Structure 1
Amino acid sequence: MTALLLLASALALGAAAAWRLPLRFYAFEYVATSVVVGLVGWTWLAFLVALVLPIVPAIVVTTVVATAGAVALVWPRRPRAEGFARLTSRGDRLLWGAVTAVTVVGLGRLFWTHSLISESDGIYSAGSSWADYGVHAAIASNVAESDSLTMDLPIASGERLTYPFLIDLLSGLLMRSGLSLHLSFFLPGVLLALAICQLVLGFSLRLFDHLGAAVTTLVLFLCTGSALGLSEAWSDWRDSDQGLFEFLGDLPRDYTTLSDRGAEVTNLVAHALLPQRTILFGLGVALVVFRLLQASRIGGASPVSTRLLLLAGGAVGLLPMAHPHSFLVCLGVLVVLTGEAALARRGLPRPHLAALGLALVLALPQLAWQQLANDHGTGGRFHWVWVKPEGQLVGEFWWHNFGLMGLLFLVVPLVLLRRREIGLLVWCVPFLAVLVVTQVYAFQPFEYDNLKLLYYVYFMGALFAGYLAVLAYRASRWTLLAAVPLAVVIAAPGALSITYEFGLHDRFASPEDEAVAAWVREHTEPDDVFLTTDRPNNPISALGGRPIVTGYIGWLYNFSIPYEERLAAVRAALAGRVDDPLVRKFAPDYLAVQAQEGPEWTVDTDALDALADAGRVAYANAGWTIYRLP
């Protein structure tokens, strides 16, 4: 019940805040904005309160303040001065309804099955979510199990938490309020994903006033993927001796993850919205910011435009702790629009500069924390041509990844210049700048993570693909004979990736994993540290909420955390050397050993038996043994 009150207060706050925005919304756009503003705003408020209060009082205070804020924003209740826009034609309403129904059913099923769902033989996820949810669940479970917000990274005890964690904080607070791990992931995830879809439709409608263009944008954006995937799928089908529908019903692989050929543009749904939970906050807020900036841009030098600019600047400034990649994109858009305003006014655009200043003032403490909380930064560096394999030609790499969409990135500015649509060209510039930067600089140790920026470039491409399709259709309806096949070719790899994702079902935790996590929660303290081998689905951290010395080293590497000594400490403990200085350095309270450790780990059973004989076994089941350390 408490969790439902929490969610209700967050959504009420979002609805009230959106109600007061001086924007003429479509009804679906208003609902989507309410979801994003409410969930992100409530979580930020909870974070600030939890810095000074224990977790439970922080939940209560935040819920009360959010509810009071919602009432204050709409009291006394009066109609919106701007009213609501409507889809005027029956055909548009039917098209919107059909597209919305497909996204609700499709995304609803994917989020339900991927969000660590409990079944009779364990807990399940799928695909990339199976691996990524280990760190998200560790942070959320640690919040749910702790009495106060520690700001330590639970998958590397002793390290400060600089990973953008706001959405995991929300899930942790929902768990502490009574929801299961599954529902605490599913409800925010599906609400935000569906809101993002509606905001994409709304933003395209605002720019181009054509629902066909908006639907084209949404389809192409959701179906991002490496262009090479289509020819690879064709080759696999031709060699399979299967009918088309039989092949599509049981795809052999994901056709957007083709690392051996240097094709790494993965699908937005399967590899971002589902597993990378932080992008749900980031992309949602970014789309709201784009809408605010678009409205302020057409409003001229008016008080309303200034208000919208300041609201956008404030929203941008809150992004680093939610999703730094979205912060960089939104900051770039704001900078470009500030430059445009300066040229138009031939002077300083004070409202734009105020918005930019507000964004930086709010963001700098968060960025400083992420860079300086630990002594090793975030691992950014210059890197030529993104993830191009050594020896591959740049043109070949570009075509394998971007294909026709890559050509569109280059063609759109030329078309807009020729049509003298400078107002639309301004929306291209920051995203094209992002495309250039991602090809020469890696923001994290894994260059692959530049995709979090490239997805925005694909959003721009999808946005203007819809616009160009409508222009071509208006010139001649026969252009559909060319436009539709081109759209299918562009969208096919991503659509195949989503189709493949529906067929995945991977066990995240066994009954033994669940049992050891339950024992951990009931018999150890929230700040007790466990020494375990590195695995993404470690139940001690992901389900038990306890800090561990070393989580999956792929995460630690990408967070730029040194892990060699941590691995050495694990090896020493598995050899029975629990008094080794490396072990003592990390001050673990328990050693957790699986019955079947991976082949890369050497377990000295005689030494561990000696620990058992000394009475140090705290818990054991068929899959795990927990040793109490001195």
Structure 2
Amino acid sequence: MILFIYLFHIHFLRYEPDGRYTALNGLGDLPFHENIINSFIHGANSKWKGMNNLKTLFYSNEKFVYPIICNYHTALLVGAGQGGLREMLIIPSIMMIFSFITLLYFLNLRIFKSRNGAVISLFMFFFSGGLGFITFLKRLLTGNDVNLDNFNYVQAVENQYDIFWWNPIDAILLPQRTSLFGYPIVISIFILLWIILTVDLKTTDFIKYAKAFSLAGFLTGILPLIHLHCFFAVAFVSILLCIFFFPITKPNQWIKYITSWSVFGIVSNIIAFPQLLIFWKRATKEGFAKISPVWIGENTNPFSYLFKALGILLILSIIGIIFLNSKQIKFYISTLLLAIFGWIVLLQSWKFDNMKILQIWFFVASGVAANTLFRASPSYIKNEKPQIKFMKTISIFFIIIIFISSIFSGVISVYRIPTKMIRIHSNEDYIVGNWITYNTPIDSIFFTDNDYHASPVSTIAGRQIYFGFVGWSYSHGIDYFERERKKNEMMKLLDDLENQEKVDKFNQILDEEKISYIYLTGYRKLSDSVMKKADLKELLNIGHITVIQRLYPHFD
């Protein structure tokens, strides 16, 4: 917990004299969450009237389709005066990570019946990584620069730099808030399902059995607006569990079993269905849910590629099946098939989004790996002969080596987090963002001359940008090519507004797109004559930033 408290402290908008900072992967995701939060507090979504009316800040006039609960929760806390944005990001995150650690411990304790194994499984999960530590040691021992700033040794193995695995601390639990909120619920559901499916169905009261299923169904049903990948993963695994645990040899229990699972399905779907409708149109676009194995194009076979990604953890999680009883095997295989699906079928445009469901498999796989280490240990041998004691010592030594090698890459990945702090907002950004907040209408649309994803227009003021960071448009399945073409055309016009014909064309596009303000950065400045000719007025000029208002927009 101390580690996580420290990491949250440096990750969430840490104060420095020249602005706010984050650590490594925070630069990619934190501005996105700021967009959503500030849009609810004082921006484009502050007067929203339902999920179908949410606005996308990085792509104006586009419906926002995303699980909003974790960010809406933060916006409510800030809006209620419970603290600033930084504090309301940190405090709930600490509470959620405490829940996550506790629940993961009890999940593997329940399944594998070993307190020590459950503790070891936590280390194996949180510091998971593959063979990148070998590359790290080679560079270190040969005097080469290990370059922690630019190399993540979970993904950098030999001459490959995008191995398909993420350390959960570095790449998921810190930057991706939806996962931090969704994962504890998934583990709670898994614990409930394990308890339900391992009791004696014949002697269990049906009402109690159905109530437990209804609770699991309720938790499943609330997942889509918290974390859609979590909902998919639970639905996938629960269907397999229903099949694998079916009491095929006990016909007298069929009705009770089917009815109880029906309760789970009905409750979860009644709650989830209205939420899923929000995502349906976006999810059915081309490029979603297509077969695309993660190792394609890597010039290697699947096992070799996955072994680089997970190293000894992959071996332990496979060999460990021989140490499991039938119920443990059924439960684990259900999650393993989820992982196989995630390795083969691409759910979204960016393959690494599948990592969110692979981590759910690893909740249980880390327990299997830890159980394998303990079952392979010689502690059960009672023979005290010198030769046997020596062999036991050697065996324990090798087990320790295996354990260290299974977490070494992950430890390096977590160690590097605070080594490179990145400024996410300058002091000027905050001045400009706050000025926009208090001096422009909440439904304003800004044309920006860059696509910087941490623009204060959206991240601080919560206003819409005509075409912001293209990476978010891509990952959200938005067909952005026509708008990208139009923005490029506008940029060319902006650099040559001395000609009245080009001024008219520029204003025509601004009117079509309902753009009221222009946000310029860096070297780009407009002369007084151009401002007058184009009916523009400079509102703010600070540092490298200029905010310009259109005086006479003509919106239909």
| TM-score, normalised with respect to structure 1 | 0.76
TM-superposed deviation, 1:357: 2.4
Q: Distance in 2 between matches of 1:108 and 1:487?
A: 25
Q: Distance in 2 between matches of 1:485 and 1:251?
A: 27
Corresponding residue for residue 410 of structure 1: 318
Structure 1 residues 521 and 492: alpha-carbon distance in aligned structure 2, compared to 1, 3 A threshold:
same
- Which segment is superposed worse, 180-189 or 393-402? 393-402
Residues 620 and 626 in structure 1, CA contact (< 8 A), matched pair in contact too: yes
The C-alpha deviation readout for 1:459-512, integer Å capped at 9, x for no partner, is 222111122222233434644222221111111111110000122211001111
The total of aligned residue pairs comes to: 509
Match of 1:297 among 186, 197, 215: 197
TM-superposed deviation, 1:400: 1.6
Alignment of structure 1 residues 125-164 onto 2, 5 Å: 125-146=22-43, 147-149=46-48, 150-164=53-67
Given residue 511 of structure 2, which amino acid in structure 1 is its aligned partner? R
Structure 1 residues 615 and 441: alpha-carbon distance in aligned structure 2, compared to 1, 3 A threshold:
closer
Match of 1:588 among 507, 510, 515: 515
Structure 1 gap segments, 5+ residues each: 1-103, 597-602
Structure 1 residues 494 and 388: alpha-carbon distance in aligned structure 2, compared to 1, 3 A threshold:
farther
Corresponding residue for residue 264 of structure 2: 355
Larger Rg: 2
Q: Distance in 1 between matches of 2:136 and 2:538?
A: 52
Corresponding residue for residue 155 of structure 2: 257
Q: Is 1:619 matched with 2:540?
A: yes
Q: Distance in 2 between matches of 1:395 and 1:311?
A: 38
- Which segment is superposed worse, 191-200 or 172-181? 172-181
Match of 2:132 among 224, 229, 246: 229
Alignment of structure 1 residues 34-45 onto 2, 5 Å: none
Q: Distance in 2 between matches of 1:108 and 1:296?
A: 34
Residue 311 of structure 2 aligns to a residue in which SS? helix
Alignment of structure 1 residues 564-579 onto 2, 5 Å: 564-574=481-491, 575-576=493-494, 577=503, 579=506
Structure 1 residues 404 and 454: alpha-carbon distance in aligned structure 2, compared to 1, 3 A threshold:
same
TM-superposed deviation, 1:580: 5.2
Corresponding residue for residue 186 of structure 1: 90
Given residue 560 of structure 1, which amino acid in structure 2 is its aligned partner? G
Larger relative contact order (CA 8 Å, sep ≥ 6)? 2
Given residue 195 of structure 1, which amino acid in structure 2 is its aligned partner? S
Residue 432 of structure 2 aligns to a residue in which SS? helix
- Which segment is superposed worse, 520-529 or 331-340? 331-340
Residues 572 and 580 in structure 1, CA contact (< 8 A), matched pair in contact too: no
Q: Distance in 2 between matches of 1:429 and 1:267?
A: 22
Corresponding residue for residue 168 of structure 1: 71
Structure 1 residues 231 and 121: alpha-carbon distance in aligned structure 2, compared to 1, 3 A threshold:
same
Corresponding residue for residue 405 of structure 2: 489
- Which segment is superposed worse, 356-365 or 189-198? 356-365
Structure 1 residues 608 and 166: alpha-carbon distance in aligned structure 2, compared to 1, 3 A threshold:
farther
Structure 2 gap segments, 5+ residues each: 382-391, 495-502
Structure 1 residues 608 and 211: alpha-carbon distance in aligned structure 2, compared to 1, 3 A threshold:
farther
The C-alpha deviation readout for 1:320-366, integer Å capped at 9, x for no partner, is 11111111221123223322443354324211121022212322222
RMSD: 2.4
Alignment of structure 1 residues 438-449 onto 2, 5 Å: 438-449=342-353
Structure 1 residues 579 and 615: alpha-carbon distance in aligned structure 2, compared to 1, 3 A threshold:
closer
- Percent sequence identity is 20
Residues 155 and 548 in structure 1, CA contact (< 8 A), matched pair in contact too: yes
Match of 1:475 among 380, 404, 414: 380
Match of 1:377 among 285, 288, 292: 285
Q: Distance in 2 between matches of 1:207 and 1:113?
A: 35
| TM-score, normalised with respect to structure 2 | 0.86
Q: Distance in 1 between matches of 2:124 and 2:528?
A: 55
Deviating beyond 4 angstroms after TM superposition, the runs of 4 or more aligned structure 1 residues are 605-609, 612-615
Corresponding residue for residue 96 of structure 1: none
Corresponding residue for residue 94 of structure 1: none
TM-superposed deviation, 1:390: 4.3
Given residue 525 of structure 1, which amino acid in structure 2 is its aligned partner? P
Corresponding residue for residue 305 of structure 2: 397
Corresponding residue for residue 13 of structure 1: none
TM-superposed deviation, 1:607: 6.8
Residue 616 of structure 1 aligns to a residue in which SS? strand
Residue 506 of structure 2 aligns to a residue in which SS? coil
Q: Distance in 1 between matches of 2:237 and 2:396?
A: 32
TM-superposed deviation, 1:319: 0.8
Q: Distance in 2 between matches of 1:363 and 1:387?
A: 33
Structure 1 residues 395 and 472: alpha-carbon distance in aligned structure 2, compared to 1, 3 A threshold:
closer
Q: Distance in 2 between matches of 1:544 and 1:193?
A: 29
Corresponding residue for residue 524 of structure 1: 440
Given residue 467 of structure 2, which amino acid in structure 1 is its aligned partner? T
Residues 164 and 306 in structure 2, CA contact (< 8 A), matched pair in contact too: no
Q: Distance in 2 between matches of 1:221 and 1:141?
A: 33
Corresponding residue for residue 65 of structure 1: none
Q: Is 1:554 matched with 2:471?
A: yes
Q: Distance in 2 between matches of 1:609 and 1:316?
A: 61
TM-superposed deviation, 1:317: 1.2
Given residue 591 of structure 1, which amino acid in structure 2 is its aligned partner? I
Corresponding residue for residue 112 of structure 2: 208
The C-alpha deviation readout for 1:37-93, integer Å capped at 9, x for no partner, is xxxxxxxxxxxxxxxxxxxxxxxxxxxxxxxxxxxxxxxxxxxxxxxxxxxxxxxxx
